[in-house]
Amino acid sequence: MILSIDSLTYAYANGTPALNGVTFQVAAGERVAVVGSNGAGKSTLARHLVGIERPTSGTVEVEGRRTDELSIAELARSVGFVFQNPHDQLHARTVAKAVEFGPRNLGFTAEQRARACEWALRVTGLTHHAQDHPHHLSFGQRKRVALASVLAMDTPLVVLDEPTTGQDHRSLALLGSLLGELAEEGRTVIAVTHDMEFCVQHFERVIVLERGRVRWDGTVEQWLAADATALPADGSRDDAAERSGPPTDLERPQLTRLARELGWSAPVATVDAFLSELRERTPSVPAN
């Protein structure tokens, strides 16, 4: 297992509880989407993976080593973290320098640095912006610079916090093919996201967080097909969650919800899958 989280509980200094007994493991090469409503604890969880936060109790192990025994610099060799807001990450005067910063800190040779940066700029579509000042780019482009600067560090685990925010259609396609490329290389990707279409298209496993707990953990197919009122992953009932109803259904893709409303049993999540199911049910709908 590249990541092993056991009974992770965390409360902020002001006493706000953010995580409550989170337990799951991730195998090398998996692509995992962490979803859940505002305040569920997703970003807090992501920050534990890079050591920005440390557990109040419980453990987080990356590549078999407990994160509370490692410095942030040591963890940076194993985990790359792309912040939700690129401002938190970009301090260099050019895009190229921003992307080179991490590999330089990790002690890459000049040749390794050049290769890693060239690749990271290319796969994020930024080669032509290498000499631009990051602050002169759009928000979506700056997010891709932040992504490139993490990819260039060549870590086995990459954690993305809301990667699709501010990305246009072309950039989303680029991000999708990049995730495919990372998977082929056997790198592990964990993304915190509110973007259900993105989650269904590019991830194989979904973890639903709710009020600091794991409410659901399974494959994308199981998640699409699951009953929205399913019990929490640990089999226990959370009274507070019960009172507020089952929010997980709201987090499924729009097309999945539409297909359910139409009474279709097959889980459908993309336009192609929807059309194919529709054509099967309604022969009068022309094939394109």
Ligand X SMILES: Nc1ncnc2c1ncn2[C@@H]1O[C@H](COP(=O)(O)OP(=O)(O)OP(=O)(O)O)[C@@H](O)[C@H]1O
In the complex with ligand X, which residue's Cβ is closer, 63 or 197? 197
In the complex with ligand X, which residue's Cβ is closer, 2 or 40? 40
What kind and span of H or E run contains 96? helix 95-105
Q: How far is the CB of 16 from ligand X (least distance, A)?
A: 4
Q: How far is the CB of 89 from ligand X (least distance, A)?
A: 17
In the complex with ligand X, which residue's Cβ is closer, 36 or 80? 36
Answer yes or no: are the C-beta atoms of 268 and 221 closer than 8 Å: no
Q: How far is the CB of 83 from ligand X (least distance, A)?
A: 12
Q: How far is the CB of 195 from ligand X (least distance, A)?
A: 12
- CA gap 237, 56 in Å, rounded: 24
| Neighbour-count burial of 29, counting CB atoms closer than 10 A to its CB (0-12 exposed, 13-18 middle, 19+ buried) | middle
Q: How far is the CB of 127 from ligand X (least distance, A)?
A: 31
- CA gap 51, 73 in Å, rounded: 9
The residue ranges that bind ligand X (CB under 6 A) are 12, 14, 16, 18, 36, 38-44
Q: Which residues are CB-contacts of 154 (< 8 A; sequence separation ≥ 6)?
A: 103, 116
In the complex with ligand X, which residue's Cβ is closer, 188 or 193? 193
Alpha-carbon dihedral sign for residues 196, 17, 61, 91: positive
Residue type, 180: G
- CA gap 21, 9 in Å, rounded: 5
Q: How far is the CB of 126 from ligand X (least distance, A)?
A: 26
Tokens 């991490």 belong to 102
In the complex with ligand X, which residue's Cβ is closer, 134 or 212? 212
**Residue 162 is encoded by which pair of tokens?**
């809301």
Answer yes or no: are the C-beta atoms of 2 and 21 closer than 8 Å: no
What kind and span of H or E run contains 117? helix 110-123
In the complex with ligand X, which residue's Cβ is closer, 57 or 105? 57
